[in-house]
Chains A and B, each alone.
Chain A
């Protein structure tokens, strides 16, 4: 007994797809699992002021003895300033999440329209923009981000900007390839022939079909943003010292390594991995659902 085949546009494919994720087997579970991780971490960070046992930013007044290994009082141990690691871990995701969301927002705001207009208009403008995008894309991401962040200085916004610049070409490319393939389709030509404005065509016809690919790129962008933010912090281009941040804990913990204080870096590190992993899993699952692999 086969289900009737229903024609749907891409946009309506996404929403019911989320509802029927469990039916999709492994890919569906990946998305659910990944989303669960991400949402839990976001919740944890938001609820930090209420759920962390101690204030993670106390300075001067030691909450506990510096560098105590995990025990019943401090399940994650304390760092060299005597701050409780558990509290730091609970509230440490804020910076990265902000950077990630901000950079994705910037990319969406810049990369998508740029891709749409440039590839739709074509011509020399398109070729030059493409060339610039390719140059950025070919460049090692972290290095470019470091260069930009070094000049801009510390802070969440600056980190987000550096990451955004590195990532815009990815969005551009993905949008571009979709636009190019859809641009020549009969139904677009038909719309044009009845006098539809370019803007209408772009937003009503082409954009909905581009959305799935953008979603996939965005999730990968999230994961990368988190790892890059951690990297930037590690080399000293992160946020101001006082804000609890996993990346900062890692950078700092490095100096404490020879003394064997493994807990200062292990727990924040695990959470960075979890957050990046959550987004990556979502990306993997979504990419399989929205662009199913051929063959099997």
Chain B
């Protein structure tokens, strides 16, 4: 099958699948087993209140009408209204989504890194104790409930050691409340800041000194002069730039991903803080997901390492690291990429639990919140959103794979 034919057929296939998905969700949430409105009001309320809610949400119409409203609404980007406060669900979802996206990206990075590293180590010592240990590790991490792992991390690192925060995404002052960016004081105050600038200046000039020494030149008066000017320049630059860019104000939102936004703002302090809050959640989710990648890399590397050109490279005395990462890993690249796409669904599912554990303000926590509020329309909207997202990602993954895999091209 030619590439073009495959692409077209694959895209065409997605449409009925999404339709089935949407219908499934509709059936689950509106048809089976009960009336969502009645479920929302646990205790018997005034019938007028119930009727009013139904009216406002469009749930008083016949099922068929509701179904078509639902489908056509989706085309317009309308995911329904919340039972809680009748605000559009789509807005809430889109504001919560970037947080989940950020968590997902970093968790994936963690999972793939751990997976590749351990997979390589396992394939190098095939069937020896290290290999078995790593395989067991992969199995065990899969069997650990994500929230349990998260809570253990919280206990160890947040409560006992106090190195990392227990939850949330940023410290309160950084929490964006709008699009303004007031200039505020650098962390610790002015004196600390100037002191740090001095330190920065000293470091830079020492580095220059070391660099010069390596070249074997002697320390002449000229060089001394250069070093002093370097020091002063760094000091001034750091102080000025730092005041502006290392201040602790609100984060200016551009992408919704705090790590990217803080870099776009040029503020390293905010970047560090964003990362600090990300560490535990992404470590948790990434660890649980890594098992799949360990297994994949291991089997792939095992085959590749047996290939002739790898042995030939070793026979030329090349370093092991060069051989593995430069030669053999290229082969594993494509399967890993496709596996990343396949694991996206699992990633989202895991994100729900992780976000709840760490109070991470993302889509997962949103869903759980809505469960507590018995806000069924919002849950429906979120589930639909997830479903469509996963379908698109899997479509892109398949297309990418078809594009990159030379066999399908033929």
Contacts and interface: CB of A to CB of B under 8 A. Distances in A.
Q: Do chains A and B touch in the complex (CB under 8 A)?
A: yes
Contacts of A146: 352, 367, 371, 379, 383
A24 interface: no
B17 A150 contact: no
B351 to A, nearest CB: 9
B346 to A, nearest CB: 7
A131 B154 CA distance: 42
Contact of B151 (A138, A152, A254, A277): A254
A237 interface: yes
B391 A138 contact: yes
A234 B151 CA distance: 12
Contacts of A265: 148, 151-152
Contacts of A254: 147, 151, 357
B63 interface: no
Tier of interface size on chain A:
35 or more
B20 A147 contact: no
Given A139-B21, A142-B353, A143-B383, A277 B371 contact: no
B52 to A, nearest CB: 22
Interface string A110-150: 00000000000000000000011011101111111011101
A139 B159 CA distance: 36
A250 B160 contact: no
A143 B383 CA distance: 7
Contacts of A140: 345-346, 348-349, 386, 390
Contacts of B147: 230-231, 234, 250, 254
Between A132, A139, A231, A260, the greatest number of chain B beta carbons within 10 A of the residue's beta carbon is seen for A139
Binding site secondary structure of chain B: helix
B211 interface: no
Interface string B358-377: 00000000011001100010
B24 A135 contact: yes
A258 B159 contact: yes
Contacts of B189: none
A146 B371 CA distance: 9
B139 A151 contact: no
Interface in A264-296: 265-266, 269, 272-273, 276-277, 280-281, 284
Interface in A189-240: 223, 227, 230-231, 234-237
Given A150-B371, A235-B356, A272 B24 contact: no
Interface of B: 16-17, 20-21, 24-25, 28-29, 32-34, 36, 39, 132, 139-140, 142-148, 151-152, 154-155, 159-160, 166, 345-346, 348-350, 352-353, 356-357, 367-368, 371-372, 376, 379-380, 383, 386-387, 390-391, 394
Sorted from nearest, which 9 A-B pairs have the closest CB atoms?
A142-B349, A276-B143, A269-B148, A140-B349, A140-B345, A277-B143, A135-B20, A235-B368, A230-B145
16 contacts: A135-B21, A138-B345, A138-B390, A140-B348, A141-B349, A143-B386, A146-B371, A150-B379, A151-B29, A151-B36, A231-B352, A235-B353, A235-B368, A236-B371, A257-B166, A276-B144
Interface of A: 26, 131-132, 134-136, 138-144, 146-148, 150-152, 223, 227, 230-231, 234-237, 250, 253-254, 257-258, 260, 262, 265-266, 269, 272-273, 276-277, 280-281, 284
